[in-house]
Chain A
Amino acid sequence: MNVNTQAWGSAFTEYSGLNVRTGAADINDPDFENYPPFVRNSFNVDTEIQYVPIGDLYYPYLDDNESINLNKPIERSIAYCACKNMDIPINKIWGYSCTPDSSSSQYPELTDTSAILLQSDNTPIPIMLLDTIGIGQARNHGMSANQHYFRNPFYRTSQGVFNQQTLWTQYAQNEDLNGVQGNPYDNTGRSHSNKNLFAAYYRDFGIRSMFLQIRVTYYNSIGSTTETPSGFNDKTLYWYSQQTAEWRESHPLTGAYGRLIVRNSTAGLYQQGNNVNPDITVNLKSNWNFSTVSIGDLIQQPIANVDTEYLQSAFPLFGVLAPNHWLTTETGTHASGGISQNVAILIGGGENSPIVHKQGKDGTQYKGTMWCEMEGTDENLELLRKWCAAYGLFFTDGDSGDTGYSQLYAAGNDSTRWTDEKMCLGVIDDEGFTDGTYTRGIGNETANNFDWKTVSESKYDPIKPPPTPDDPTIYSDETGFNVLGGVANCNKVYAVNASNIMNLAKALSTAITTRLSDLPPLDYSLETFLTNNPLDCVVSLRKYPVTNLSSGTEEPISFGSYQNANVQGIPFVKSYDLITFTFSNAARNSLYAHFADFRDYEPYTHAELIIPFCGTVQINPCDFIGHDINVYMVIDYITGGCTAYVAADRLVVTSIAGTIGVDVPLSGIQTATLESQRVNAVMSRKSADIGVNNAIVGGLSSSVGLLASAGAGSVVGAVGSGAGLVSSVGRIEQADIAYQKADYELKHQQVPFKQVSAGTPIASTVVENCCRLIIYRPVLDDRYNAEVYAKTVGFACLMNGKVADFSGLTVGNINVDGLAVTDTEKQAIQKAFANGVIL
């Protein structure tokens, strides 16, 4: 049943989403029947569970001894996460009492001190009623010993958060903890601490409005000395460890708390949606109360802290304020400079926790019994950081001085504050969980929530379906790369620079400086042949986009057995490289669920990876949402090729090949060929030279014959011999021509050049030096109005249940069996539901 808040009458006013009566309830009021059930209940009027509208949502009001089965999410409620499918008899969720303070503020509160949330077995209900931002709005008020308040952080006067009681919830637990209080983590190590039941209230609270400063308190447990909290400064003390039953000299850490630093936009910090004026400094200054928490495998062990000094205040940032314990806030002053007030923060404890009970060795040496102690080791301090990180807020472990939080706090530092080395940020994943992981300094920029201005930018929605169903695929499998490891080959590779290449080219072009007569003695060994043609020993010359492929000392490059002292390189022993490009899912640098609905998948959203030297590869969002995208690029230094394997986490999904090595053309003389040609040419010229000589000798011989014939009076013979002389002259000329030809060929010896590779287009080398992920997401029409759409069309879904489980416009198939109506009416009902009804 919906409650018409207007019908509650003028006695009730809208109050930050809760309707609160400003005056005393009066059973004689004509509007009494329209009072909220918890009001009527105070007059012992039976009521039924009702839901109070807050905006277009409804929140349950439950009365004493009523129960609610949380088999579906309460809208915007963390409770479902903690209590799903549990029948939870509620002794009381909240009651009603209007206790105006001095400025007539009102708030809903539990009606009595025993009104805690219990399950049927009387263990506390593991319900999450906590908000990250639920840090101190109190001033001049404390949590009294017999009151428990629900906090309403958006109630502010025109002066800002002023004169309002801090309303703290008691519990902030997870479903796995079986009622143990105050643990910020569930058994998967995830935290809900950054979430809240009344998210709608806080949606516009600026994340960048604040940061936490972790401060620790060191106590001298022997005496009464309390060291002033001051960052993580070391305090060496002499103390007795109950845990180890020995006296130790170190620094027992007995307290830690967060100091919330809040400022408004005028001071540099982002502030939205509130009426804060002027700056707020929420000093979470107090001692703290150890309760029971755990992290990871630590087991909770309740710690009864009965020392009144500790009871005066506690830090329920994790909702760890124990039942019937309370906060006492520090009186602050409201001035233009800010408001000081106390609230709460860190906590720790557990059987295996560094926090243990501390009791005096002889029971008297200590300030009180059952003190808690935690040794201030680096490990423990890191634990504090992790606890603080669970809120998904900015925090610092910096000291209090000018170099610490004050510097971060200072106005005008907004551009550098969030990436300061002293600033950390609890990382929130896509589902809104934290796990204690935090980033620091410039690394903060990699966190999902770094750019969030308000908590509403979280994608967390308790009623959305889980983003991915259980998946049998093991994404953490090893990729299996490097199965064969390096492959030996018969070549030798050198890393060279441009200067080396010039020397190489020069040497290959001037390798032959010897004269023929200087040729070494004949040597038919393989080494000699390898020596003769150095260029033939060059297999490839490639450039890779990697700085200094190899380190070491340059040495002469061996071309077979030929070496030139001027040609040097650094031996390169690898045959491949494996380079990984990562798009982090945790840092929201991957294909995260942007809309957290169907639009995150194809065909609405599609994506591609641009991989250097390989090109573009299409990837399906459904394969990668929720995972890191890892691109494993294998560079083959033997061939210059590369292959990029695209993996979801470590599960390879697709691959693409490319070329990364740029072939550099290299030319030089084929020395052995040249020498061979030279030898042949020289030999030809010598042969021709001999031919010329022989021809001349032959000619002279013929002349002698001619003279002899003429002397003998033989004219005919002389004539015949004269013809022979002519023939000899012709041979001489021919021999001379042959000589000149051979000489010409020798002088115009063709130098046998050779080129290694034809080169690669340089354009292919002009690429980005890193992988790029491009995501194409759909766009809704600007005129789309979700609220109107919900009322007129409704959102597509597929849910089963009872009609009572749904509200608003509902379209579906209803089972009308059992309804006491006619068949005609049943058909009409089914038709009406098929067309859409308003529930």
Chain B
Amino acid sequence: MGFYIDIAYTTDPPNKVNRAYTIINQSPVLISPLSTINQLNPVFVIDYNAAYLNANYVIVDFLKRKYNAVVSVDTAGRMVLTCNVDVLANNFSNCDITVTRNGGIGKPTYIPDNKLPILPNRETITSTTATNDYFSTGLADNHSYLVTVLNGGAIT
């Protein structure tokens, strides 16, 4: 009984959760006993196949994991897939999370964002006046003066 893997190619960035990939092999690929198998950083040795040279992703069912892979060819002409487990290939849907940054919001929020490129040396000025003008400027000769006289109201 041998161990098989699927060799794939993905263009999704490494920080993408559940990267989409395209499996290259026609059927699962048998790995060599020379392979180093562990859950986190396995190194798979397989027979040379030029179609796998551009592979960068490996699906390993028997480890229940997916791996980011770097393909090389050893001196014996075998292909070596040096892998790192893709920890983001998981179902996080129900995991609780406190999000401090998010692109899906679409716009800044009320949380101050010190990365937003606000220019420190520029600002816009908006000027508005109140909806009512009270103080008159047309005071040519109207009763706009007040003279206060002592006791004028008391003694007449």
Q: Which residues from chain A sit less than 8 Å from chain B, CB to CB?
A: 56-57, 75, 446, 461, 463-465, 467, 490-501, 504, 526-527, 530, 536-550, 557-561, 563, 569-570, 572, 579-584, 587, 589, 594-599, 604, 612, 631, 637-638, 661, 664, 666, 768-781, 783-784, 786, 789-804, 806-816, 818-819, 821-822, 824-825, 828-829, 832-833, 835-839
Does the CB pair A825–B110 fall under 8 Å? no
CB distance from A440 to the nearest CB of B (A): 16
One of A589, A775, A802, A821 near B97 (C-beta < 8 A): A802
Chain B residues lying within 8 Å of A496, measured Cβ to Cβ, are: 143, 145-147
Most chain B beta-carbon contacts within 10 A, residue among A544, A604, A797, A809: A797
Does the CB pair A539–B131 fall under 8 Å? no
Q: Is the interface of A mostly helix, strand, loop or mixed?
A: mixed
Does the CB pair A795–B113 fall under 8 Å? yes
CB-contacts of B64-101 with A (<8 A): 85, 87-88, 90, 92-101
Q: Which residues from chain B sit less than 8 Å from chain A, CB to CB?
A: 12-13, 15-17, 39-40, 85, 87-88, 90, 92-119, 122-139, 141-156
In the A-B complex, the 4 residue pairs with the smallest Cβ-Cβ separation, listed nearest first, are A492-B152, A492-B153, A808-B103, A794-B101
Bound CA–CA A527/B154 (angstroms): 11
* Chain B residue, CB-CB nearest to A801: B97
23 contacts between A and B (CB under 8 A): A495-B143, A498-B145, A537-B150, A544-B146, A557-B152, A558-B152, A558-B155, A560-B150, A581-B132, A589-B128, A769-B133, A773-B130, A778-B124, A781-B117, A784-B117, A786-B107, A790-B103, A794-B105, A798-B111, A800-B96, A801-B97, A812-B99, A828-B85
Does the CB pair A545–B98 fall under 8 Å? no
Does the CB pair A802–B104 fall under 8 Å? no
Q: Is the interface of B mostly helix, strand, loop or mixed?
A: loop
Bound CA–CA A595/B12 (angstroms): 33
Given the contacts A542-B145, A545-B135, A548-B142, A773 and B127 also touching, CB distance less than 8 Å: yes
Bound CA–CA A463/B124 (angstroms): 27
Does the CB pair B151–A794 fall under 8 Å? no
Does the CB pair B87–A778 fall under 8 Å? no
With A550-B143, A818-B95 given, name 11 new contacts (CB 8 A): A467-B110, A495-B146, A560-B150, A560-B151, A604-B112, A774-B126, A775-B126, A799-B102, A821-B87, A821-B90, A825-B40
Chain B residues lying within 8 Å of A798, measured Cβ to Cβ, are: 98-100, 111
Number of A-B contacts (CB under 8 A): 383
Does the CB pair B149–A492 fall under 8 Å? yes
Bound CA–CA A26/B99 (angstroms): 43
Does the CB pair A833–B97 fall under 8 Å? yes
CB distance from B134 to the nearest CB of A (A): 5
Does the CB pair A778–B119 fall under 8 Å? yes
Chain A residues lying within 8 Å of B114, measured Cβ to Cβ, are: 796
Does the CB pair B109–A837 fall under 8 Å? no
Chain A residues lying within 8 Å of B96, measured Cβ to Cβ, are: 800-802, 814-815
One of A530, A570, A811, A839 near B155 (C-beta < 8 A): A530
* Chain A residue, CB-CB nearest to B116: A780
Chain B residues lying within 8 Å of A781, measured Cβ to Cβ, are: 117-119
Chain A residues lying within 8 Å of B40, measured Cβ to Cβ, are: 822, 824-825
* Chain B residue, CB-CB nearest to A496: B145
One of B17, B98, B125, B145 near A495 (C-beta < 8 A): B145
Does the CB pair A808–B102 fall under 8 Å? yes
Does the CB pair A499–B141 fall under 8 Å? yes
One of A543, A802, A825 near B145 (C-beta < 8 A): A543
Given the contacts A496-B143, A545-B136, A809-B103, A815 and B118 also touching, CB distance less than 8 Å: no
Chain A residues lying within 8 Å of B106, measured Cβ to Cβ, are: 56-57, 75, 463, 786, 790, 795
Does the CB pair A795–B107 fall under 8 Å? yes
Chain B residues lying within 8 Å of A561, measured Cβ to Cβ, are: 155-156
Bound CA–CA A589/B129 (angstroms): 8
CB distance from B19 to the nearest CB of A (A): 9
Chain B residues lying within 8 Å of A837, measured Cβ to Cβ, are: 15-17, 88
Given the contacts A494-B147, A803-B92, A780 and B117 also touching, CB distance less than 8 Å: yes
Bound CA–CA A821/B86 (angstroms): 11
Does the CB pair B93–A802 fall under 8 Å? yes
Does the CB pair A572–B146 fall under 8 Å? yes
CB distance from A72 to the nearest CB of B (A): 11
Bound CA–CA A781/B121 (angstroms): 11
Does the CB pair B105–A463 fall under 8 Å? yes
Bound CA–CA A680/B131 (angstroms): 64
CB distance from B128 to the nearest CB of A (A): 5
Bound CA–CA A771/B133 (angstroms): 8
CB distance from B89 to the nearest CB of A (A): 10
CB distance from A633 to the nearest CB of B (A): 8
Does the CB pair A497–B111 fall under 8 Å? no
Bound CA–CA A779/B112 (angstroms): 15
One of B15, B115, B123 near A779 (C-beta < 8 A): B123
One of A499, A594, A838 near B13 (C-beta < 8 A): A838
Does the CB pair B118–A778 fall under 8 Å? yes
* Chain B residue, CB-CB nearest to A559: B149
Chain A residues lying within 8 Å of B17, measured Cβ to Cβ, are: 803, 837-839
Does the CB pair A797–B116 fall under 8 Å? no
* Chain B residue, CB-CB nearest to A827: B87
Given the contacts A538-B150, A579-B134, A784-B117, A497 and B145 also touching, CB distance less than 8 Å: yes
Does the CB pair A806–B147 fall under 8 Å? no
* Chain B residue, CB-CB nearest to A57: B106
* Chain A residue, CB-CB nearest to B154: A490
Does the CB pair B128–A772 fall under 8 Å? yes
Does the CB pair A797–B135 fall under 8 Å? no
